[in-house]
Amino acid sequence: MKPLILVTNDDGMFAPGIKALVEVAQKLGEVVVVAPNSPQSGQGHAITLTEPLRLHKVDVFGEIPAYECSGTPVDCVKLAKHVILKDRKIDLCVSGINHGSNASINIIYSGTMSAAMEASIEGIPSIGFSYLDFSFEADFEGCQYYAKRIIQQALNKKLGTAQLLNVNIPALPLDDLKGVKVCRQAEGTWKEEFAEAQDPRGQSYYWLTGSFGIETEDPTTDIWALNNGYVSVVPSMHDLTDHKSLPGLKHLEKL
């Protein structure tokens, strides 16, 4: 029996990235697609509590069942598991291919990675893919090459104890990619600003802007791997406990 693969993303059903990922996944298993009906970049791990969610079956990928959801990427995964595929075992969730990097701290803002993380919280092995090329005309050949091989490893249960992978692919032609580096999330923050302007009624508004461009010489990090032409693979997790800081807080128990 073919493995059941859930495909999702945060850019919506018509992004070239999800099409590229569906093309890979359908060669490796039975595919069901559940994706947001509008772009959801930056939605992080948001869920919809105060509004109802809509779900519509759409004909985007031919024979492959595809559902548009009115919620966030995490909502998509919850609806996939608890409604659409309720009585079935999902063998793997793949999210993306995101248009833009989710390396370093970007994992935490990313709808693509949060969808993948939600699946892993639910016990489904999961992989998020992101491509460092924002263009909707981007060439996905390199992404597809590595996505296929990494998904095969996951389906063959060759990921050890890892439940969630954050995979980023440099914006390079396949022949220029140097291979895969297994690495850790680089420490980094956005250099942030807000553009302030006035609307037609003279009221101020603020619009988030900023740049992310950390450099690091540390070859154990995802940023180094990407800057040096490697596909970065970071095993990630949802236990946010800062275990190393536990001993230094014991005195709080005497408050």
Omega of the bond leading into 97 within 30 degrees of 0 (cis): yes
Asked if 135 touches a copy of itself (CB under 8 A), the answer is: no
Nearest distance from residue 237's CB to a copy of itself, in Å?
4
Asked if 202 touches a copy of itself (CB under 8 A), the answer is: no
Asked if 1 touches a copy of itself (CB under 8 A), the answer is: no
Nearest distance from residue 208's CB to a copy of itself, in Å?
6
Asked if 189 touches a copy of itself (CB under 8 A), the answer is: yes
Residues 140-179 that bind a copy of itself (CB under 8 A): 146, 149-150, 153, 158-166, 179
The structure tokens 């919850």 sit at 78
Asked if 80 touches a copy of itself (CB under 8 A), the answer is: no
Q: Alpha-carbon distance 60 to 80, whole Å? A: 17
Nearest distance from residue 29's CB to a copy of itself, in Å?
18
Give the nearer residue to a copy of itself in terms of CB position, either 39 or 65: 39
Site string for a copy of itself, 27-66 (x = CB under 8 A): ------------x-xxxxxxxxxx-xxxx-----------
Binding residue count for a copy of itself, defined by CB under 8 A: 89
Q: Residue 211 is inside which H or E element, if any?
A: strand 204-211
Burial of 168 (0-12, 13-18, 19+ CB in 10 A): buried
Q: Alpha-carbon distance 141 to 54, whole Å? A: 34
**What end-to-end distance do the CA atoms of the chain give, in Å?**
58
Give the nearer residue to a copy of itself in terms of CB position, either 16 or 39: 39
Asked if 180 touches a copy of itself (CB under 8 A), the answer is: yes
Q: Which stretch binds a copy of itself (CB under 8 A): 15-23, 125-133, 135-143, 234-242?
A: 234-242
Comparing C-alpha atoms, which of 163, 212, 166, 168 is closest to residue 187? 212
Q: Alpha-carbon distance 2 to 242, whole Å? A: 39
Asked if 224 touches a copy of itself (CB under 8 A), the answer is: no
Nearest distance from residue 59's CB to a copy of itself, in Å?
18
Residues 93-122 that bind a copy of itself (CB under 8 A): 105, 107-109, 114, 117, 121-122
Q: What are phi and psi for residue 223, nearest 5 degrees?
A: -65, -45
Q: Which amino acid, 219?
A: P
Q: Alpha-carbon distance 196 to 205, whole Å? A: 6
